[in-house]
């Protein structure tokens, strides 16, 4: 039985065989499984949390490849649906010399957009402890309605609801639609992970602490902002602080944020009192930073996501500094 259900898009990333070139200059591409919620599901499974993926792919070779990849990684794909009406989404991803990415998507429409409320496995949600989702499934109907239906079922069942705004502006009609859709998901979550760029996009505020205060709502238990090499900043109703990251030789940043989410969520599931214990939360953020860092050391998100033993070995050989922010509340 899955403790965590990840809902949203599952797609094929075509990644250049060389780093530091534009898409037009790439000599060749290698296919890799992609989609943030799928990456998180695999990350959780690698860390020992029974997970399931909920969404839709095409009834085509790419869709079946994705289902097989997740299943082989230990993810329950029972809630995954196959569409005969649309194909699996594709994305071409260029890797800059610094490991950061640029995207070009082919999904007009793709199967993930056709996931509808009737296909939501409510029983699986009711058996779970956590539902994680992102903003991409909120872009249009029917996947928007299906996502909100799943979130409502999770909240009604007492599940922890986790959300990653995951800004992909080219997929939205315009910036206003993106902002409104991303905020809709954020307001329904108990745990939110976002980047510093996303906090500024959503609020128009370049001061991180003030932006997070503007985004805070009464049902939030934890907001964590990832800042790449600068680590992460956490906010709860009672305290806030910074946890520095780790220096690694980054090859591909595709799975870094998703790895961080998996590392964070596994700890919250294992010990829900972490929300109220700052020392435990700081150690959990350090663990999540390690997962995110390790996820950049290979090409492709899923191949790079580490298991618990690899994270422990990495942490035992590294040190990071923990800093408390003087202003103690995001509420």
Mean pLDDT computed over 223-232: 93
Element (H, E) at 213: helix 208-215
pLDDT, residue 319, reads: 61
Band of pLDDT at residue 108, cut at 50, 70 and 90? confident
pLDDT, mean of residues 260-283: 97
Residue 15 confidence (pLDDT): 83
Q: What is the pLDDT of residue 93?
A: 83
Summarize the confidence of residues 245-263 as an average pLDDT: 90
Q: Under a CB-based contact definition with an 8 Å cutoff, are residues 264 and 193 in contact?
A: yes
Question: How many Å apart are CA 251 and CA 249, to the nearest integer?
Answer: 6
pTM for the full predicted model: 0.93
141-146: average pLDDT: 98
More confident residue, 246 or 93: 246
Instruction: Tell me what pLDDT residue 80 has.
Output: 98
Residue 255: predicted pLDDT? 86
Report the DSSP beta bridge partners of residue 15.
Answer: 30
pLDDT at residue 327 greater than cutoff 50: no
> For 201-215, what is the mean pLDDT?
97
Percentage of residues in the chain having pLDDT higher than 70: 94
List, for residues 2-30, the tens digit of each pLDDT value: 999 999 999 998 988 887 888 888 899 98
> How far is the C-alpha of 161 from the C-alpha of 125, rounded, in Å?
11
What is the number of alpha carbons within 13 Å of residue 71 lying toward its C-beta? 10
pLDDT at 321: 42
pLDDT digits (tens, 9 = 90+) for 184-206: 999 999 999 999 999 999 999 99
Residue range 66-77, pLDDT digits in tens = 999 999 999 999
Which candidate, 10, 185, 5, 254, places its Cα nearest to that of 110?
Answer: 10
pLDDT, residue 4, reads 98
Say if residue 324's pLDDT is above 50. Answer: no
- For the chain, the C-alpha Rg in angstroms (whole number) is 18
147-170 pLDDT, tens digit per residue, is 999 999 999 999 999 999 999 999
Q: What is the pLDDT of residue 99?
A: 56
Separation of alpha carbons 26 and 29, rounded Å:
7
Give the pLDDT confidence score for residue 22 in this predicted structure.
82
Using the predicted structure, report yes or no on whether residue 101 has a pLDDT greater than 80: no
Please say if the pLDDT value at position 322 is more than 50.
no
**Which position has the higher pLDDT, 147 or 100?**
147
pLDDT score recorded for residue 57: 98
User: CA of 30: how far to CAs of 20, 94, 251, in Å?
Assistant: 15, 11, 15
Query: Is residue 296 over pLDDT 70?
Result: yes
Domains and CATH numbers, the chain: 4-324 (3.40.1190.20)
pLDDT value of residue 97: 67
Determine the Cα–Cα distance for residues 127 and 114; give it in Å rounded to an integer: 25
């Amino acid at each position: 039985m899955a403790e965590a259900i990840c809902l949203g898009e599952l797609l094929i990333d075509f990644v250049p065989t060389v780093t530091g070139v534009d898409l037009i200059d790439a000599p060749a591409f290698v296919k890799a499984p992609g989609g943030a919620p799928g990456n998180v599901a695999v990350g959780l499974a690698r860390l020992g949390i029974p997970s399931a993926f909920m969404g839709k792919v095409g009834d085509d070779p790419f869709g079946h490849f994705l289902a097989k990849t997740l299943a082989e990684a230990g993810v329950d794909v029972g809630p995954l649906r196959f569409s005969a009406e649309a194909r699996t989404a594709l994305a071409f991803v260029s890797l800059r010399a610094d490991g950061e990415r640029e995207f070009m998507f082919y999904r007009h429409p793709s199967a993930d957009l056709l996931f509808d409320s009737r296909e939501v496995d409510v029983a699986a949600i009711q058996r779970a402890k956590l539902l994680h989702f992102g903003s991409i499934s909120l872009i249009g109907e029917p996947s928007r309605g299906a996502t909100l239906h799943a979130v409502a079922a999770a909240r009604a069942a007492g599940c922890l609801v986790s959300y990653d705004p995951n800004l992909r502006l080219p997929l939205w009609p315009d910036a206003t639609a993106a902002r409104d859709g991303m905020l809709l998901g954020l307001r329904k979550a108990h745990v939110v992970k976002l980047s510093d760029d996303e906090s500024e996009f959503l609020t128009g505020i370049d001061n991180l602490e003030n932006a997070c205060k503007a985004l805070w709502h009464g049902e939030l238990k934890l907001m964590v902002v990832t800042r790449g090499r600068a680590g992460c900043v956490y906010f709860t109703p009672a305290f806030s602080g910074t946890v520095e990251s780790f220096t690694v030789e980054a090859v591909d940043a595709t799975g870094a944020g998703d790895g961080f989410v998996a590392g964070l969520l596994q700890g919250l599931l294992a010990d829900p009192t972490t929300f109220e214990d700052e020392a435990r939360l700081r150690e959990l953020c350090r663990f999540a930073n390690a997962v995110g860092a390790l996820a950049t050391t290979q090409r492709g998100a899923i191949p790079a996501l580490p298991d618990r033993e690899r994270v422990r070995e990495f942490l035992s050989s590294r040190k990071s500094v923990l800093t408390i922010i003087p202003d103690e509340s995001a509420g």
